[in-house]
Structure 1
């Protein structure tokens, strides 16, 4: 049986060691490349790798460097890229898929990495459980907000994030009274 050839792109040496050890315990996966930087990752030949497991935050210089690297690797022929991170922002998750990722795993769910590698290898685009719940909640918010005006949507989303009327007013440069009226209108529309 052929082993799935994995490249790990991770700038934290402790995480690199942990992930490598976790994956090497699997009989059907082998780590063939380890890259600690964007430059090292770009030197690897895509024909030598089946799946890439990449940290989203590669360096201090560029907070989401893995997103940009994902696009570059995709253009070089790497088609199966799994993003690995602590980020749980829906916009970042969706952007990673736009940039070529086939899955997105939160580092707290590291035990799911071997199965995600197998799914990517089999061309299954999937969402890890912690990511899918975030995206479903975001979609529910979007559906609720679809009946609202753009200004009301903005207020609604801030309220859903837990901001108070005063905080929303300050953030949007509006009066608390205006926010109060908008929240009342939003409540009526959503019902």
Structure 2
């Protein structure tokens, strides 16, 4: 169907790509439009096929998944990239998110988690495997805190309520959790989240968290 989510599979192991394809082909609303065996092939495939979501391996010969992610998100900003890796302490994970990825999952994620992640990033949400969220923050916060002075003035474009929502997003709170904290509906939170992202020129929640660390308002 024309409104299916178009997915590109990128992994240097054919068996891994085949396994992902079997999972996704069984799902309504998802279509695998192509495969690539390394980062360079992935960039060319995105240029030719214009997928909505890319499942991106990290460690591949030639161009790795981090560099490919950076090129793909610059070339086609509407394309969402989910970084996939075997290692829950992978030092490249945060690099992938900084490069523009909208999600990070482990390859041993359940099929339902993979499918949910694809649909979530296509909606504009961010997805980070719970097992690695704390590790990503641990890796990222010290470096960002050293390299960026606190600069809350960059939040001046936000209203007071939008600023509250942004700070809760930076803590990793979901829409439901934000709604509970602020005593508003989830639909209201969703509206505020959209305004926050547009106002700050951010693509998704992952970028919002990174931005919060960069300006020194998270992790302190």
Please indicate the TM-score interval, normalised by the length of the shorter structure: 0.5 to 0.7
Shift of 1:46: 6.6
Label 1:37 to 1:130 Cα distance change in 2 as closer, same or farther (>3 A): same
Question: What does 1:17-28 align with in structure 2 at a 5 Å threshold?
Answer: 17-28=18-29
Matched, 1:69 2:71: no
SS at 1:27's partner residue?
Answer: coil
Matched, 1:55 2:60: no
Partner of 2:42: 41
Stretches of structure 2 lacking an aligned partner (at least 5 in a row): 143-220
Counterpart contact for 1:6–1:29, Cα < 8 Å = yes
CA–CA distance in structure 2, aligned partners of residues 38 and 97 of structure 1: 16
SS at 2:69's partner residue?
Answer: helix
Supply the RMSD in Å over aligned alpha carbons: 2.4
CA–CA distance in structure 1, aligned partners of residues 99 and 50 of structure 2: 21
SS at 1:109's partner residue?
Answer: coil
SS at 1:101's partner residue?
Answer: coil
Counterpart contact for 1:52–1:81, Cα < 8 Å = yes
Shift of 1:102: 0.4
Question: What does 1:1-191 align with in structure 2 at a 5 Å threshold?
Answer: 2-44=3-45, 45=47, 48-59=50-61, 65-78=64-77, 79-89=79-89, 91-111=91-111, 112-135=113-136, 138=138
Query: Is the radius of gyration larger for structure 1 or structure 2?
Result: 1
Stretches of structure 1 lacking an aligned partner (at least 5 in a row): 143-191
CA–CA distance in structure 2, aligned partners of residues 17 and 68 of structure 1: 23
Counterpart contact for 1:90–1:134, Cα < 8 Å = no
Label 1:124 to 1:11 Cα distance change in 2 as closer, same or farther (>3 A): same
